[in-house]
Amino acid sequence: MLKGIPKILSPELLKVLCEMGHSDRIVIADGNFPAESMGKNAKVIRCDGHGVPEILDAILQVFPLDTYIEHPVNLMALVPGDDVETPIWDTYRELVEKHDERGEAAISHIERFAFYEEAKTAYAIIATSEKALYANVMLQKGVVKDE
CA 5/CA 32 separation, integer angstroms: 28
Question: What residues are annotated to the active site?
Answer: 22, 66, 116
SS3 per residue for 82-114? CCCCCCHHHHHHHHHHHHCCCHHHHEEEECHHH
Beta-strand relationship, 25-29 and 137-140: antiparallel
